[in-house]
Amino acid sequence: MTPTATANTTLPYRRAGFASVPEMLDYAARGQTGVNFFDPRGRLTATMTWGELRERAHVFARRLIGAGFARGERLLITADTWPGFMVSFFGAQYAGLLPVPVSLPAGLGGKDAYLDQLRRQLAASGAVAALATDELAGYLTTAAEGSAARLVGAMSTFEALPEKPVDLRPWGAGERCYLQFSSGSTRFPLGVDIRQDALMANIAGQIGDHGLAIGPRDHVTSWLPLYHDMGLIGFMLAPMAAQRSIDYLSARDFARRPMQWLSLISQRRSSITYSPSFGYDLTTRRAQTQSLDGLDLSCVRIAGIGGDMIQPSVLARFAARFGPAGFDTGAFMPSYGMAEVCLALSFGRRGDGFHVDTVDRQQLSEDRVARAVAPSESSRAFVLCGLPLPEHPVEIRDEAGAVLPERRVGRIFAKGPSIMAGYFEAPEASAEALKDGWLDTGDLGYWLDGQLVVTGRAKDLIIVNGRNIWPQDIEWSVEELPQLRRGDVCAFSIDAEDGAESIVVVVNAWPAQEEARTALIGAAQQIVKETVGVDCVVQLLSPSIGLPMTSSGKLSRSRARTRYLAGEYANGGRRPVPAAT
Amino acid sequence: MRASHKFKVYEFADEAMSDAPSVSRDEVRADICRRLDPFRTDARPITGATVITKDLNIDSLAVMDMVMELEDTYDISIPLNVVAEIHTVDELTDTVLKIRGER
């Protein structure tokens, strides 16, 4: 097996400017470039030129159309990094169906939580067909019982459909493209209704001169999961829009062998790659015990960072560790975006590395002012996230909606051609996010020298190891313990070392016996682990203290966090009886 | 374009176990217990009945690291759906032996 070429021989290089995904693939299919799949030991396991992918996608599309699936219906796909995902995703594009990529099970003992997640995603998308990898086909079949899906199974199930001589009905300009689950609670999943026009506009921004400035000699390497917009749009669709070859390592394989990511880049002389901070961190940690002999990263032109809060110390450690292997710290390219804008909203300057702004922590959280200070224990360092894409006005506003000047922290709003039309069949959520053509990103940030600095999420979203965790998901699952009631649980994140986040769950209960308290803490931690796959600190709180509420009777996570950090919840908030004064 | 691709393989713990003709159930279980020992929560020893994600102080990332090390040691690959159904040390032991037997 031979991997696809880095450059096309005769096909003229063309960077974006296509009307739709099918048009993009039609063009790339005329060259020799394509996609290559590597296993965790660096062996090539599958390869397709864009032309071969197009042929297989056409066959898949004729099977779907021939089976009677109507234009606009949804096809759910488990988005592991496998050729079948791409064949079915692009097959749906040519058949006028909407692909709905979904994630994979989280780990040891995660079966039940995964089945629940699949059921909710099937319901939210109203999928009429659902395709899984061979290993997950059984789960998907179980989850789809009683759903609207008429055809469910592995690729062999779909290949058993007859290929009828029907006309393709590809999505075109102005039409829909796919549903991107990403935002919001996993209990009530919201799919971003990705449209062709908005997608094409954002891809042009990503790979154009403001962004990666992809050229005809660039080679792309990615381990990013294809159920995430950064993997799917950034590292499947965008490189295709410039006829690039892509080398893939699956996210699962990356997590096991992060050094294989760099090894692939080095061996294949790749120039562009991307990762959230936690990926750079994982790789640096794993490299402590490894020899870097033979590793040459001087080929890397862009090492993008996105998908989580960027941690400057992580980037500095990565650069220090891999500098001797030829890694240029100037290749770091911070960026900021979300599925609601079809991925990217801002990029750092190319070749400029990352820049840090150190501000006073207390003024930041209390006065919402980012005052520059010398680094100290009471300061907080942020990485500048770059300049907004052309034609995408960005505003930072205070709570009253007034536009804020430099160094004042407020909510980030954006508009422009790549803003989503809305969430799929969720008018209320769409109206909440989109107002007068502006997208409320839900993030907080400030301006510095024309660059966006993102400081956190207004919506209390928790991000751990690059995963977004909605606090409600934790609270609701813990509340299902028999001894608890609705409203008894409050989840939030606190800054751990290096700006990473750790989760604190405050439980409004204080059983009399110490054994019972220990058991309750253990049970709550176990539920959190099963539900969202992460560890947490559980703090019991005497019901006599109670969780803080807002004036409208809603749980106030920010106040609970403040009190927790102030030590008010130690020993359940039960203070020693004060001496009479 | 390169004609052949010989990737330097990092991270591959090339332990002798992968070439061993066979391993017993007791050996595999003892190996898993040894790997999990740092995550014990109290003085009780880890046994076949220990529920890995419940009885131990181990997070999901560390669990997957351990599974990866087992895969390397025994030269196997445990499918995602199988991993998702494993709870106890004995279940993990039997999975390793079963998949190793199918190689």
User: Per residue, what are the HEC states of A72-115?
Assistant: CCEEEEECCCCHHHHHHHHHHHHHCCEEEEECCCCCCCCHHHHH
Is A344 in CB contact (< 8 Å) with chain B?
no
pLDDT interval class at A495 (50, 70, 90)? confident
| Nearest-angstrom CA–CA distance, A299 and A267 | 10
Please give the residue of chain B at the shortest CA–CA distance from A292: B10
pLDDT at A551 over 60: no
Kindly give, in sequence order, each residue whose CB lies less than 8 Å from that of residue A482, ignoring residues fewer than 6 positions away. Answer: none
CA B43 to chain A, closest CA, distance in angstroms equals: 17
By percentage, how much of chain A surpasses pLDDT 90? 70
| Of A480, A478, A459, nearest in space to A469 by CA | A459
* A399-411 confidence digits (pLDDT tens): 899 999 999 999 9
Of chain A, the end-to-end C-alpha distance in Å amounts to 84
| Nearest-angstrom CA–CA distance, A396 and A380 | 20
| Nearest-angstrom CA–CA distance, A190 and A196 | 19
pLDDT value at residue A468: 61
**Tokens, residue A235:** 């590292």
Note the residue count of chain A.
581
Cβ contacts (< 8 Å) between A45 and chain B: which residues? none
pLDDT at A309 over 70: yes
Cβ contacts (< 8 Å) between A263 and chain B: which residues? 7-10
Task: Report the interhelical angle of A312-322 vs A277-287 (nearest 10°).
Answer: 40
Q: How many contacts (CB atoms, under 8 Å) link A and B? A: 104
Is A6 in CB contact (< 8 Å) with chain B?
yes
Nearest CB to B12: which of A3, A41, A107?
A41
**Tokens, residue A206:** 């990503």
Domain count for chain B: 1
Is B65–A114 a contact, with Cβ atoms under 8 angstroms apart?
A: no
Question: How far does Cα A162 stand from its chain's mean position?
Answer: 36
| Nearest-angstrom CA–CA distance, A383 and A362 | 18
Is B1–A263 a contact, with Cβ atoms under 8 angstroms apart?
A: no
**Tokens, residue A443:** 């993030």
Cβ contacts (< 8 Å) between B53 and chain A: which residues? 108-109, 526, 529-530
Cβ contacts (< 8 Å) between A264 and chain B: which residues? 7
The residue written with tokens 């021939």 in the block is A66
Is A259–B10 a contact, with Cβ atoms under 8 angstroms apart?
A: yes
Average pLDDT over residues A250-272: 93
Is B8–A263 a contact, with Cβ atoms under 8 angstroms apart?
A: yes
Please give the residue of chain A at the shortest CA–CA distance from B71: A256
Average pLDDT over residues A132-150: 97
pLDDT interval class at B16 (50, 70, 90)? very low
B77 is a domain residue:
yes
Within 10 Å of residue A167's Cβ, how many Cβ atoms?
8
Average pLDDT over residues B52-66: 76
Selected residue of B1, B2, B5 to mutate for chain A interface (largest A Cβ count, 10 A): B5
Torsion from C-alpha of A46, A50, A56, A59, nearest 10 degrees = 170
Selected residue of B1, B2, B7, B64 to mutate for chain A interface (largest A Cβ count, 10 A): B7
Cβ contacts (< 8 Å) between B65 and chain A: which residues? 256
pLDDT value at residue A465: 73
The domain of B39 spans 23-101
pLDDT value at residue B40: 79
* A510-535 confidence digits (pLDDT tens): 887 888 899 999 999 999 988 777 88
Domains of chain A: 21-256 (3.40.50.12780), 354-457 (2.30.38.10), 462-571 (3.30.300.30)
Q: What is the rounded average pLDDT for all residues in chain A?
A: 91
Identify whether the C-beta of residue A524 lies closer than 8 Å to the C-beta of residue A531.
no
Identify whether the C-beta of residue A441 lies closer than 8 Å to the C-beta of residue A434.
no
pTM equals 0.82
Average pLDDT over residues A420-426: 94
Nearest CB to A42: which of B1, B9, B81?
B9
pLDDT value at residue A554: 65
pLDDT interval class at A252 (50, 70, 90)? confident
| Nearest-angstrom CA–CA distance, A82 and A188 | 27
Is B54 in CB contact (< 8 Å) with chain A?
yes
Kindly give, in sequence order, each residue whose CB lies less than 8 Å from that of residue A503, ignoring residues fewer than 6 positions away. Answer: A462, A464, A469, A474, A491, A492, A493, A528, A534, A535, A536, A537
DSSP 8-state code for residue A489 = E
B4 is a domain residue:
no
CATH code where residue B61 lies: 1.10.1200.10
pLDDT value at residue A441: 93
Identify whether the C-beta of residue A542 lies closer than 8 Å to the C-beta of residue A527.
no
Q: ∠ at Cα A46 (A467, A52), nearest 5°?
A: 105
Is A217 in CB contact (< 8 Å) with chain B?
no
* A193-238 confidence digits (pLDDT tens): 999 999 999 999 999 999 999 999 999 999 999 999 999 999 999 9
Is A286–B11 a contact, with Cβ atoms under 8 angstroms apart?
A: yes
Within 10 Å of residue A431's Cβ, how many Cβ atoms?
11
pLDDT value at residue A579: 47
pLDDT value at residue A559: 85
B7 is a domain residue:
no
CA A263 to chain B, closest CA, distance in angstroms equals: 7
Is B84–A286 a contact, with Cβ atoms under 8 angstroms apart?
A: no
* A32-82 confidence digits (pLDDT tens): 999 999 998 899 999 999 999 999 999 999 999 999 999 999 999 999 999
CA B49 to chain A, closest CA, distance in angstroms equals: 14
Cβ contacts (< 8 Å) between B82 and chain A: which residues? 135
B85 is a domain residue:
yes
Nearest CB to A106: which of B9, B60, B68?
B60
Identify whether the C-beta of residue A325 lies closer than 8 Å to the C-beta of residue A295.
yes
Note the residue count of chain B.
103
Cβ contacts (< 8 Å) between A41 and chain B: which residues? 7, 9, 12
The backbone torsions φ and ψ at residue A367, rounded to the nearest 5 degrees and listed phi first, read -100, -5
pLDDT interval class at B6 (50, 70, 90)? very low
Q: Which amino acid is at A135?
A: E
Query: Picking from A271-275, A361-365, A374-378, which range would have the lowest pLDDT averaged per residue?
Result: A361-365
| Of A198, A176, A190, A193, nearest in space to A414 by CA | A198
| Of A267, A277, A179, A273, nearest in space to A231 by CA | A273
* A102-122 confidence digits (pLDDT tens): 999 877 888 988 999 899 999
By percentage, how much of chain A surpasses pLDDT 70? 95
Cβ contacts (< 8 Å) between A526 and chain B: which residues? 53-54
The backbone torsions φ and ψ at residue A211, rounded to the nearest 5 degrees and listed phi first, read -110, -120
B17 is a domain residue:
no
B8 is a domain residue:
no
The residues facing B88 across adjacent strands are: B51
- Surface-to-core class of residue A395, CB atoms within 10 Å of its CB (0-12 exposed, 13-18 middle, 19+ buried): middle
Strands (E), B1-103: none
B43 is a domain residue:
yes
pLDDT at B11 over 70: no
Q: ∠ at Cα A40 (A39, A41), nearest 5°?
A: 90
In this prediction the ipTM stands at 0.74
Is B10–A105 a contact, with Cβ atoms under 8 angstroms apart?
A: no
Cβ contacts (< 8 Å) between B99 and chain A: which residues? none
Selected residue of B10, B53, B64, B95 to mutate for chain A interface (largest A Cβ count, 10 A): B10
Cβ contacts (< 8 Å) between B83 and chain A: which residues? 105, 107-108, 110
pLDDT value at residue A499: 64
Within 10 Å of residue A449's Cβ, how many Cβ atoms?
10
Identify whether the C-beta of residue A408 lies closer than 8 Å to the C-beta of residue A399.
no
Is A263–B7 a contact, with Cβ atoms under 8 angstroms apart?
A: yes
B13 is a domain residue:
no
Q: Where are the alpha helices (DSSP H) in chain B?
A: 25-36, 52-55, 60-74, 80-83, 89-101
Within 10 Å of residue A175's Cβ, how many Cβ atoms?
16
Q: Which amino acid is at A150?
A: R
